[in-house]
Amino acid sequence: MTDDMHPCAAEHCTTQIPRHLLMCPGDWALVPRAIQGRVVRTYQNLSRDGWGPYADAIADARQAVAQAQGGKK
């Protein structure tokens, strides 16, 4: 793994993706658009709002993927 790559944020996914992405395209497609938008907005506002809202949005995105794949909450 190089410094510009990291594993997808979805639970149980080990796909290596560029650091500027949160999830691999397949998992990101499972996240509802409203949550996708919240992830992007809270990331863009990190300096203003801090990490809390962004962390919450990521948790919701991960939960959406797990639910879409029939996993646990």
The residue extents of the domains of the chain are 5-68
DSSP tag of 19: T
Predicted confidence band of residue 2 (pLDDT cuts 50, 70, 90)? low
Count, in order, helices (H) and strands (E) of the chain: 4, 2
> pLDDT, tens digit, for every residue of 21-51?
999 999 999 999 999 999 999 999 999 999 9
> In the predicted model, is pLDDT for residue 73 greater than 70?
no
DSSP-derived 3-state class of residue 62: helix
> In the predicted model, is pLDDT for residue 72 greater than 60?
no
Amino acid at position 41, single letter: R
